[in-house]
Structure 1
Amino acid sequence: MRNSVAFVICLGVTLLALAIAVLLDAGTTPVAGLPLLPTLALFAFVVQWLVYVPSFIKQTEHYYDLAGSLTYAGVIILAVLLTAPDLRGGVMAALVLIWCARLGSFLFKRVKQSGKDGRFDDIKPHWGRFLMAWTFQGLWVFMTLLAALLAITSPAATGWDLLASLGLAVWAAGFAIEVIADRQKSAFRADPANRGRFIRRGLWAWSRHPNYFGEILLWTGIALMATPTFAGWQWLGWLSPLFVAWLLMKVSGVPMLEQRADATWGGQPDYETYKAKTPVLFPRPPQA
């Protein structure tokens, strides 16, 4: 892909996010005369672009995941400071901060230990394609946070209700699954006896990608908590977990890892058996 084409895609992605933000903005808390939700969306992109510049100059992807997590935190904190949300919004903000602190530190540590992230090998030398990766991360941040931002910035005080409790329980289940799966895989990889082998124990015996299932589940919990604050077009806040599911299942998560696993272990009887008996995403008890 040519750099000029990549730049046009970056511009289109940014304008799409801003258009969604303008459409869904509640119009109650302008920032320097600008609507709040588009301001938060633009902030997510600007942070990515600022970190992109030194990353491209140094040809490194080490700060990509960390920048994403810090942007999540920055957007949420800015939204809270500008709106002073009710209990529902405050709890949702805390949940997002807990999630991004855990995931950001985990991913940053993983990249530092491995020394590189193979996803960027082919695109780092090309400024447009590398910029596109950072711009899409800005879109990822905004779209994933959409339901939470709508609730946090909502002018209506909905109070705590059954749906808020249900959403919190779903979030907690998803968060626990993600954390446990990541820790199991890290422990597996840290054991020299497992070098060159694939994990199929613990939650990984129930699903080939249990961490991604947990990720989708926790954002579904956030959307459930936010639902009572939606009005009109703001029901598009449910794009948040749907976007996460689409991204992980069809774009940058499952397809890439499945392709890599097939290239490494494809044709080996134990791997083919594991693949045939274990669901790609939604867990089920291991089959004999």
Structure 2
Amino acid sequence: MSVDLSNLRRVVATSAAVVTALQTATAVAGIRRGRRDYADAAWGPGLAAIAVTGAVVGTGDPARRWALAAVTTAWATRLERLMLQRLAGSDEEDERYTEFLEGDAVPAVAAKVFLTQGLAQLVVSAPLQLAAASALPRTRRRWLFPVGVAVMVAGAVVEATADRQKARYTARDREERPDVLDTGLWGWSRHPNYFGDSVVWDGAWLAAAASAPAAWTLPAPVAMSYFLVHATGARRTEEKMQERESYRDYQDRVSFFVPLPPGR
């Protein structure tokens, strides 16, 4: 077997400890200040911390360990900058959290937000953890590693490009900008930033799957895609925007998630 099980246990345990520390610190700060939405700022750093932990503690192929850590950290750094700008730009808690947690006591908030997010980080990063404790095979399967890293980079570029396009649209004068952003990547997908994010984690799985046992971590990128579409991302946006006639027309013309040529 290409996996060092003893080292894998160490990687998993250390990753869990790091995530627990980060989520605990974020929970304390967020709950004290009445900003449970601080959890958003812990998502990227938590995943980057797990990747770096694997690179440091793992004994698997060093090139793969550090490549995955580098790409994940770069992805998380850009995302974190966006999250901090958004949080700093408002004195009010994100209404999603206010509605979701209405009437909940501190223990319930800690469990529903911070504990849940910590567990999600450990699940999504399972390919990274397994890769950190695995050797690369000598067969052609080893080429899944560079291919997977390339897919991660491509996904990160799509996500960053979509976010830049959205930022430029939002910065335009309200009276001059169109009702709906439907140019650039947003003319091919209604949620290209979330799509790019999902591709990042598809690539991470692919790079890890160069070692056969890591292929069994396929539920990890599937879970990330579910989170992005249903739990916190695209579907919620659709529900909020559907009241606008211009957005309903946009829905008829443009693919929901996977970028495709516009309908007309």
TM range (shorter): 0.7 to 0.9
In structure 1, distance between residues paired with 2:248 and 2:29? 43
Specify the alignment match of 2:161 in structure 1.
180
Amino acid at match of 2:236: M
The number of residues matched between the two structures is: 254
Indicate which of 97, 110, 131 corresponds to 2:73. Answer: 97
Q: Which runs of 5+ in 2 are unaligned?
A: none
In structure 1, distance between residues paired with 2:4 and 2:247? 51
Alignment of 1:133-152 (within 5 A): 133-152=113-132
Indicate which of 192, 203, 222 corresponds to 2:185. Answer: 203
Residue aligned with 2:251, SS: helix
Amino acid at match of 2:118: G
Q: CA RMSD in A?
A: 2.4
- Verify the 8 A CA contact 1:59 1:124 in the aligned structure 2: no
Alignment of 1:262-277 (within 5 A): 262-263=242-243, 265=244, 268=245, 270-277=246-253
Q: Given the alignment of the two structures, is residue 64 of structure 1 paired with residue 3 of structure 2, yes or no? A: no
Residue aligned with 1:37, SS: helix
Residue aligned with 1:285, SS: coil
- Judge which range, 275-284 or 133-142, deviates more: 133-142
Specify the alignment match of 1:29 in structure 2.
7
Amino acid at match of 2:180: F
- Verify the 8 A CA contact 2:54 2:128 in the aligned structure 1: no
- Verify the 8 A CA contact 1:48 1:135 in the aligned structure 2: yes
Specify the alignment match of 1:41 in structure 2.
16
Residue aligned with 1:28, SS: helix
Measured after TM superposition, the shift of residue 177 of structure 1 is 0.8
- Verify the 8 A CA contact 1:203 1:210 in the aligned structure 2: yes
Indicate which of 104, 118, 123 corresponds to 2:95. Answer: 118
In structure 2, distance between residues paired with 1:73 and 1:249? 22
In structure 1, distance between residues paired with 2:136 and 2:6? 13
Measured after TM superposition, the shift of residue 210 of structure 1 is 0.6
Indicate which of 188, 201, 213 corresponds to 1:219. Answer: 201
Q: Given the alignment of the two structures, is residue 80 of structure 1 paired with residue 61 of structure 2, yes or no? A: no
In structure 1, distance between residues paired with 2:79 and 2:196? 12
In structure 2, distance between residues paired with 1:70 and 1:130? 20
Q: Given the alignment of the two structures, is residue 236 of structure 1 paired with residue 216 of structure 2, yes or no? A: yes
What is the TM-score with the length of structure 1 in the denominator? 0.80
